[in-house]
Copies of this chain bind each other. A is one copy, B any other.
Amino acid sequence: MLLLIIIIKCSLAVWPIPARWWSSEGRNATVVVSPQDFSFSGGGGKSRVLAAAFERYRDIFFPHSTTTTTADPAGVVVEVADPDAELGDGDERYSLRIVGGWARLRAATVWGALRGLETLSQLVEFDFGTERYTLRDASIVDGPRFAHRGLLIDCGRHFEPLPSLRRLVDAMAYAKLNVLHWHLTEDESFPMPSRVHPELQGKGAWSAGEKYAVSEIRKFVEYAKYRGVRVIPEFDVPGHATSWRNSHPEIFASGCGSDAKRGALDPGKNETWVLLGSQLADWAALFSDKFLHLGSDEVPSSCWNNSFDLEFMKSQNFSTFEDLYDYFVKRVVDLVPSRNHVILWDEAFQDATPDPARVVVQNWHDATLLRDIIAAGYRAVASPNAYWYLDHLATSWETMYAFDPADGLDGLDDDDGEDAPLLLGGEGCMWGETVDPSDLEPTVWPRLAAIAERLWSPRNLTADTQMAEPRLRAFRCLLLARGVRAGLVNSSLARSPPPNPGRCDQ
């Protein structure tokens, strides 16, 4: 019988920090493992997601080629209770027990197993002196605090080609994030393809090459799914839609002039609803996620206010901007296929009253709004601009880390004192005004990792920013080693170049 001395360590070099762990410091608690003799098995053998993860994680566990072999086999054995559970159904919990180079990984779903493989990958160590990998005995019981842990990526202000997006998804999986909120149409450009109105992309994209193809979007959604990342597309209407005007000026409100820098769709025209109806059906069919994001933020009021003398406004007895906005929001939600739920920015809560049964509200204004949103019965996603806007370069990782979306929700917790069930989670928002593929990664990372730990790890383990810092520095080095171009952990402005020669964790 193997006798182990179990000691609770103060820290574990895993990001985000697992909910509970024990790690052995005893003699013989560290075992040499080798790429040649390490097996990945289990999971029922019928999950293609898991089979692909085994392939992928073999390279991630063992990034350095070595000829070292060991006498003893080692490996990870995966047990998945329900291998057919869909991504988005939520259960990402797992447990991991490592003894003598063998890891037993248990999860309810393959999505939980993916998280466990990631944790295990961060526990494999390499010694360059001996060219040997080692694995230490440990036990971990882990699972996410919030179900929705995301990144918004804006592909309208600058185009992000798929290699950029795939690398984002890779890194999101390293940080156990699970939602890519893909902002696909903007005032500035329209890279999104359409099977019913190809002219939207044809005339709306930045250039002939800065577009996505239908088949590659499908492939990318699958790519993300294999890494446990849901793709939620956003088609922002009725504002932030000026690029639609290049091909369809007839659906734009005339109040602000036909060449206003920022236009707005005209809710008073039948053509608007005909086009939106067919287009949203086309797009909803292309994406597999339950959620669809329809924006609804920052409608340029001048485009509508000057139209209130029009017959339509009179016929509906609308007298204010909010009347018309409420009408737009409700009607556009009704256009969406019934299997979809709709996410809208928080103007839709402040200035309208959509159906809470179908609408999730994403908070981007003041974080204090979260309480009102949830108290009104809406599901909420937190991304307040004062804390979680990645384009705010002066917002430090500490500020992002210290913000807890559950603060201020006292009394809205569930019966067990857990976080309010209507608080789905949050997102870091990478708006694209000054971000293109050349500077995307160091603007996103490592700050998004701070948000990732806030959303994954328990509150009691993440109260202290100083405690987190050495692990975040180590995680930055891990990202670099895996080919992700994370910026410096500490710099007064994000994406600043290193000022001097130095270490990866400087």
* Residues of A that sit less than 8 Å from B by CB: 63-67, 126-129, 131, 156-159, 161-164, 167, 186, 188-189, 193, 198, 201-202, 205-216, 219, 432-442, 477, 480-483, 485-488, 495, 497-505
Tell me the complex Cα distance, A335–B506, Å: 37
Copies in the complex: 2
Tell me the complex Cα distance, A498–B208, Å: 20
Q: Determine how close the nearest CB of chain B comes to the CB of A270; give it in whole angstroms.
A: 27
Q: Are A193 and B480 in contact (CB under 8 A)?
A: no
Q: Are A64 and B216 in contact (CB under 8 A)?
A: yes
21 A-B Cβ contacts within 8 A? A64-B213, A65-B215, A67-B215, A126-B209, A128-B208, A129-B201, A157-B501, A158-B502, A159-B503, A159-B504, A186-B501, A189-B501, A433-B500, A434-B499, A436-B502, A437-B485, A437-B486, A438-B486, A438-B497, A439-B485, A440-B485
Tell me the complex Cα distance, A67–B195, Å: 14
Tell me the complex Cα distance, A416–B131, Å: 54
Tell me the complex Cα distance, A486–B164, Å: 12
Q: Are B502 and A213 in contact (CB under 8 A)?
A: no
Given contacts A128-B209, A441-B485, 19 further A-B contacts (CB under 8 A): A63-B162, A65-B213, A65-B216, A67-B215, A128-B208, A157-B501, A158-B498, A159-B503, A163-B483, A189-B501, A209-B477, A210-B477, A436-B480, A436-B502, A436-B504, A437-B486, A438-B480, A438-B497, A438-B498
Tell me the complex Cα distance, A129–B219, Å: 18
Contact of A503 among B131, B207, B441, B480 (CB under 8 A): B207
Tell me the complex Cα distance, A442–B156, Å: 21
Which residue of B is nearest A440, CB measured? Answer: B485
Q: Are B161 and A498 in contact (CB under 8 A)?
A: no
Tell me the complex Cα distance, A375–B489, Å: 51
Contact of A439 among B477, B497, B501 (CB under 8 A): B497
